[in-house]
Amino acid sequence: MKTILLGLMLSLNLCMQAETATGYKNPVIPGFHPDPSVVNVGDDFYLVNSSFNYFPGVPIYHSKDLVNWKQIGHVLDRESQLDLTGANEWGGIYAPTIRYNDGVFYMITTNVTGKGNFLVHTTDPAKGWSEPVWLKQGGIDPSLYFEDGKCYMVSNPDVGIWLCEIDPITGKQLTESRRIWDGTGGRHPEAPHIYKKDGWYYLLIAEGGTELGHSVTIARSRTIDGPYTPNPANPILCHFNKEAQSNPIQGTGHADIVQAPDGSWWLVCLAFRQQNGAHHLLGRETYLAPVRWDENAWPVVNGNGTISLDMNVPTLPLHPIKPIPARDEFTSENPSHEWVWIRNPEMNNYEHGNGRLTIKGTPVTLDSYQESPSALLRRQEHISFRAATDVMLANASKGAEAGISVYANGNSHYDLFVTRTADGKDAIELRYRLNELNHIEKIIPLDSSGKQVVLSIEGSPSRYTFSYSTDGGKKFTTISSMNTRYLSTECAGGFTGTFIALYTTAPDGKATGVFDYFDYQPL
């Protein structure tokens, strides 16, 4: 009997070892998911990202293993929490931090287009967060650290890292702000987080700007308010060097560290994947790396301070999640968590459910930098993909349009749509908006109005290819293709990545776009 039990235990142990050593692929959250912050509570991990000018704000994810993440909602899901008036792709919500203390979750962030730094709290991250409380200490990238009944805030006003004590419920600042570190000399010292290990306070920051020279540095002190001594081996994560010059992952930075229940340490950070030369389109994504953190020693990221797409390292026991269906048939009353709007939407312009998405058009177009166009968007999460939708233009007059767009920002987007012409019939049109250039690539007349048309976009590393079908998707006709680089961050600008948008525009405010489904599949 003992032999049998010993054998079973050995087999179970081997299975567990196999399960925890399978490795994983980066990014763990693909597409526009920058500035990750993570917290561990029991067996659960929660992660938040920046959202800039998109509503709702601050997507929140849940995981059991740090590798497989499921979005459970948004922290800022109502206008009273998130005013995005006038916010463009450089504005809105910057770098959130999520922390947990004594049964309460806290999220602190900055609305750079609004009133600055604020925080919200909840006891259940999936069931709604409080109204914001506004904070006195300025700068961006605020973070929280809890110890002995006190709550400390760090941020980066005046090109340095500053510390103060606050009341996390009221937001009241309890001590004067104190400058504690200026970093190692890199540009834009930001993204501060404080941790405590072996009697040391560790201060983790990002430097170099969120571009090719981005990096992660760290310092430590025996007291929380310093002085902080930098790690002689800084930066602890950086791809702006000879060792990583050929790595497809670049711009590594803005990190957060977490300890798992098994004692292992992990780091999440942002980075971007280059495509079509030195360009990236998907925005800054969320990456994961193991951390070796010996007693009284400095942390070492992935053994050599770099990360890779294929991470052949031991993991926590993996808990795969059900993938998002390739087709959204708009059956529920509200859009799923993947969908967002540009700035604060007028919700009366949208009807969702019963197998149909209806978007009422307004004179506001995708070109707008101030108002919210009638558009529902999902992140482009893969370099190679296909997206398609079945759309009909209804109640339309001349100039109305409804369709699908690859959207970087108001100055840069490729639009494939059905439009109402002067003779009262419909036509399919492909248009490129590239800053000052507005080019109509092709117009394809249809033989009638109010016809259902399938519009398709296929993405590759170098091209977006646009096609249509008038027989329900049985046969597609390619219209044209366009270089991807013109929608890249390097060309289009901004802090966000590319989105796939379903939209309607109506000069007279009457037309509607009727969408029967939306397909998104990686290739």
Tens digit of each residue's pLDDT (9 = 90 or more) over 293-318: 999 999 999 999 999 999 999 999 99
Question: Which residues, in sequence order, are bridge partners of residue 104?
Answer: 101
Q: What is the pLDDT of residues 196-249, one digit of tens each?
A: 999 999 999 999 999 999 999 999 999 999 999 999 999 999 999 998 999 999
Percentage with pLDDT > 90 across the chain = 93
Burial of residue 51 (number of CB atoms within 10 Å: 0-12, 13-18, 19+):
buried
The pair phi, psi for residue 372, each rounded to 5°, is: -100, 110
Chain-wide mean pLDDT for the chain? 94
Query: Is the CB of residue 118 less than 8 Å from the CB of residue 109?
Result: yes
Q: Return the active site residues.
A: 35, 190
Q: What is the pLDDT of residues 38-77, one digit of tens each?
A: 999 999 999 999 999 999 999 999 999 999 999 999 999 9
Full-model pTM? 0.95
What average pLDDT does the segment 449-465 reach?
95
SS3 content of the chain, % helix, strand, coil (to 5): 5, 45, 45
CB-based contacts of 232-235 (< 8 A; 24+ apart in sequence):
233/298, 234/184, 235/184, 235/207, 235/305
Instruction: Work out the angle at residue 132's Cα, subtended by the Cα atoms of residues 126 and 133, and round it to the nearest 5 degrees.
Output: 135
Q: Which amino acid is at 46?
A: Y
Residues 33, 126, 372, 469, CA torsion sign? positive
Closest C-alpha to 392, from 517, 283, 521, 267: 517
Q: What is the pLDDT of residues 152-200, one digit of tens each?
A: 999 999 999 999 999 999 999 999 999 999 999 999 999 999 999 999 9
Residue 376 pLDDT > 90, yes or no?
A: yes
Q: Which residue, chain included where needed, has tokens 């096609």?
A: 467
**C-beta atoms surrounding 169 within 10 Å:** 13
Query: Is the CB of residue 514 less than 8 Å from the CB of residue 449?
Result: no
User: If residue 4 lies in a helix (H) or strand (E), which one and from where to where?
Assistant: helix 2-19
Determine which of 4-18, 102-116, 134-148, 478-492 has the lowest per-residue pLDDT on average. Answer: 4-18
Q: How confident is the model at residue 17 (pLDDT cuts 50, 70, 90)?
A: very low
Question: Which residues, in sequence order, are bridge partners of residue 356?
Answer: 353
- Confidence (pLDDT) at 11: 40
Please, what's the largest Cα pairwise distance for the chain? 87
User: If residue 428 lies in a helix (H) or strand (E), which one and from where to where?
Assistant: strand 426-434
- Confidence (pLDDT) at 9: 41
Assess whether the previous peptide bond of 227 is cis (omega < 30° from 0). yes
Residue 19 pLDDT > 90, yes or no?
A: no
The count of C-alpha atoms lying within 13 angstroms of the C-alpha of 291, restricted to the half-sphere facing its C-beta, is 24
- Confidence (pLDDT) at 2: 40
278-308 residues labelled b (16+ CB within 10 A) or e (exposed): ebbbbbbbbbbbbbebeeeebbbbbeebbbb
Assess whether the previous peptide bond of 27 is cis (omega < 30° from 0). yes
CB-based contacts of 239-243 (< 8 A; 24+ apart in sequence):
239/212, 239/271, 239/306, 239/307, 240/208, 240/212, 240/213, 240/214, 240/215, 243/304, 243/306
Question: Which residues, in sequence order, are bridge partners of residue 147?
Answer: 150
DSSP label of 17:
H
Residue 513 pLDDT > 70, yes or no?
A: yes
- Confidence (pLDDT) at 449: 83
Q: Using CA atoms, how far apart are residues 57 and 50, in angstroms rounded to an integer?
A: 8
Q: How confident is the model at residue 277 (pLDDT cuts 50, 70, 90)?
A: confident
Residue 21 pLDDT > 90, yes or no?
A: no
Residue 20 pLDDT > 60, yes or no?
A: no
Residue 261 pLDDT > 50, yes or no?
A: yes
Residue 432 pLDDT > 70, yes or no?
A: yes
Structure tokens at 279: 């360009």
- Confidence (pLDDT) at 450: 81
What average pLDDT does the segment 386-390 reach?
98
Closest C-alpha to 73, from 57, 50, 95: 57
Residue 120 pLDDT > 90, yes or no?
A: yes
What average pLDDT does the segment 320-346 reach?
97
